[in-house]
Amino acid sequence: MVLQQRSRFVVPPVVDRGPIKGHLVVAGGALGSSNADVYKKFIVLAGGSRTARVGIVPAASSSLKSSEAFKRDLIGHGLAPENIEIIPLSTHDFKGTTEDESAWAANRDSDAVASTIRNLDAVWFVGGDQTRITSALFDPDRSESKALKAMWGIYCDGAVLGGTSAGAAIMSDVMLAGGGSLDTLSRGFTDTYDGLVQQEGVPAYLERGLGFFRYGIGRSGAEAGLRGDVLDPETGLLEQHPCPLDALL
């Protein structure tokens, strides 16, 4: 691992998306089923429990358990099961299934998957390894896939996007994928990433995020990473448009 005082990460250019009508509901890790405030706000912004259509992106996790658990939580808060689906986006195989989900990598540019996303009122990203989410949504040349473009389309038109832990980290343009704030000050940066083992006590590693949150670098956990916004476990950050102010739930 090569360390340096400054990161060589190149900040992605700002893209003019035009007016954004959608909202963000971003939660720190360990979002519990009993955290009604976060669930209710997410559902209300999506149009209410009777009609909201929600897609869950499982890509960050090592299994489908967290996606299935979030689906159960949404049902427990009044959503119809038929209005919730797990979007087949991943670049790795999940534990505990007979299917090889690494084949889902091609779905990032599937017209059918993009069409499914365009019919949603909300998208939720579960936790895990945030680099798996960006790998599932950026093409190999780091351009935006059809699935990501579809998410941007519904977000600009009024949909709500949300996520917890890794699903929170991917929201900003610059994504903190590894290392903590104290680690960054004492150890600097690295250009290599070794997965979830590279989270604490190691140099900071930056990657390009999805860019939905435009006001800083988000990090979930007990401390902020670099100069940005920190979300403690069981805490939510709400961004509503057209009002540019962010408020804790």
Do the domain assignments include residue 92? yes
Ordered per-residue pLDDT tens for the chain, 249 residues: 555 567 777 878 888 888 999 999 998 766 878 888 899 999 999 999 999 999 999 999 999 999 999 999 999 999 999 999 999 999 999 999 999 999 999 999 999 999 999 999 999 999 999 999 999 999 999 999 999 999 999 999 999 999 998 999 999 998 887 776 677 777 778 877 777 655 666 778 788 999 998 776 554 443 333 334 445 555 557 776 655 444 444
Mean pLDDT of the chain: 85
Do the domain assignments include residue 64? yes
Secondary-structure percent of the chain, ordered helix, strand, coil, rounded to 5: 30, 20, 45
DSSP 8-state assignment for residue 231 = E
| 236, 9, 179, 129 alpha-carbon torsion, rounded to 10° | 60
d(CA 176, CA 88): 25
Do the domain assignments include residue 26? yes
Print the domain residue range for 71: 19-243
The 10 Å Cβ neighbour count of residue 6 is 7
- Containing 150, the helix (H) or strand (E) segment is helix 146-157
Do the domain assignments include residue 111? yes
Task: Give Cβ neighbours of residue 100 (< 8 Å, ≥ 6 apart).
Answer: 93
Q: What CATH number is associated with residue 147? A: 3.40.50.880
Do the domain assignments include residue 47? yes
Give how many domains the chain has, as a whole number: 1
- Containing 90, the helix (H) or strand (E) segment is none
d(CA 32, CA 86): 19
Do the domain assignments include residue 249? no
Residue 107 one-letter amino acid: N
Task: Give Cβ neighbours of residue 49 (< 8 Å, ≥ 6 apart).
Answer: 43, 77, 78, 79, 80
Do the domain assignments include residue 135? yes
Do the domain assignments include residue 3? no
Reference 220, options 175, 169, 172, 182; nearest CA is 169
Q: What is the DSSP string of 12-76?
A: PPPP-------EEEEE-SS--TT-HHHHHHHHHHTT-TTT--EEEE-TTSSBSHHHHHHHHHHHH
